[in-house]
Amino acid sequence: MAVRKSKTEESFRPEDFLKKLEANETGNFYVLLGEDHTRAEQLLETLRARLVPPGMEDFSLETITVDKEKNGAGEIIGAAETIPFMGGYRLVIVRHGEELDSEALEALSEYAQETFEKKRPDMLLIIVMSALDKRLKFTKTIQKLGAIIDCEPEPIRDLREYAKKHFNKTLTPDGERAFSEIVGSDTRKVAAEMEKVSLYTGDREEITEADVMAICADSNIQDEWELRNCLLSGSMEGTLSALRNLRFDPSGSEEGIFAKLTYIMSDLPVIAEAAKRGDMRAARVFPGNPRYYAMKNFLSELPVEKQRKILSFMMYQMIAFRGSNLPKDIMNDLACISLIL
């Protein structure tokens, strides 16, 4: 059960570790944890510059890249225990520590405890890991010792600010809503997708909803959004084109297509309001919506001819919605009636 650690009471950021190092308040054994590789490399480079004198790299610095078939705890502990040359400092960097097996981590857990109980003034062991298994004694030990340097990427809280700062792009409000809906909030995914869509726009300053859809959405989501937008705008030609695309989607079943249409048509007034206020999640037919699954299950039990009649009714309802002032409750009641006729 691999887990990624964020900043917790058992960890601190690289800049805080450097302050502790400057004040001689660090121990000998640390795990550099996370996937902000740029920040991790910056820290390692700073440690090399501070702790290893020029020309002494062969004697004072050792880097081990873990191969679980070849490397074990013995090699790592042996490298750390090597006496520094001419009274200098010993820096040991272990890369890809997540590849170490449980037996090696068990031994390193005991070694970490020993080094914190009997601190050496001339050695620092850094194990670089992308993830930890919270079930292992190793993880519990380094958490207890406060031996985690947190190198997880910082959360991206403001997409428009991030796009401007890192890519010199202006993310439009519609683009921001679409990006949030499709990509989500995972920091690594947000950074990767923002880079891709920024490259896609080339010299153009703005990133629009269309750009986000073109790069970040798969074809099924694009067809789904097109269907919703065509229905909201009253474009019958566009609606039929989007429906045709959905039908040719090899991953979409007949029942699934009707479920999408039924969802959109039965909630069209509500979806229109959601779209106006920018609530894209409420306006989109997303697979996690329980009503979508309920409708799909219901429709899958009906004969195809019955499904087609329901679809026909829904189309007429859309026309009525666009051309009348009937209250929303009445429209939704009509949709429900159409499902049980």
**Tokens of residue 28, six digits:** 């000998």
- Answer yes or no: are the C-beta atoms of 209 and 308 closer than 8 Å: no
Query: How far apart are alpha carbons 125 and 64 in whole angstroms?
Result: 11
Query: How far apart are alpha carbons 108 and 105 in whole angstroms?
Result: 5
Task: Say which residue the tokens 């991953």 belong to.
Answer: 251
Q: Is the dihedral of CA 10, 14, 16, 20 positive or negative?
A: positive
Query: How far apart are alpha carbons 310 and 338 in whole angstroms?
Result: 6
Bigger pLDDT: 49 vs 229: 49
Does the structure show a pLDDT above 80 at 337?
no
Beta strands in 119-198, from DSSP E residues, in sequence order: 123-129, 132-133, 148-150, 170-171
Provide the pLDDT for residue 190. 87
- pLDDT, tens digit (0-9, with 9 covering 90-100), for 61-111: 999 999 877 778 999 999 999 988 776 889 999 999 998 998 999 999 999
- Per DSSP, the three-state class of 30 is strand
The whole-number average pLDDT for the span 159-164 is: 93
- Per DSSP, the three-state class of 171 is strand
- pLDDT, tens digit (0-9, with 9 covering 90-100), for 291-327: 555 555 655 666 666 666 666 655 555 555 555 555 5
**Tokens of residue 98, six digits:** 């997540």
- Which residues face 206 on adjacent strands? 170
The whole-number average pLDDT for the span 234-242 is: 64
Fold (CATH) for 7-150: Rossmann fold (3.40.50)
Domain with CATH 1.10.8 in the chain: 159-216
Is this prediction's pTM over 0.75? no
- pLDDT, tens digit (0-9, with 9 covering 90-100), for 125-138: 999 998 888 889 99
Domain with CATH 3.40.50.300 in the chain: 7-150
Distances (CA, A) of 2 to 130, 132, 167: 9, 5, 32
Distances (CA, A) of 101 to 58, 77, 96: 28, 15, 12
Q: Which residues contact 255 (CB under 8 A, 6 or more apart)?
A: 296, 299, 300, 307
**Tokens of residue 36, six digits:** 């902000």
Burial letters 138-172, b for 16+ CB under 10 A, else e: bbebbbebebbbbbbbeebeebbebbeeebebebb
Fold (CATH) for 159-216: Helicase, Ruva Protein; domain 3 (1.10.8)
- Chain centre distance of CA 137: 28
- Answer yes or no: are the C-beta atoms of 143 and 175 closer than 8 Å: no
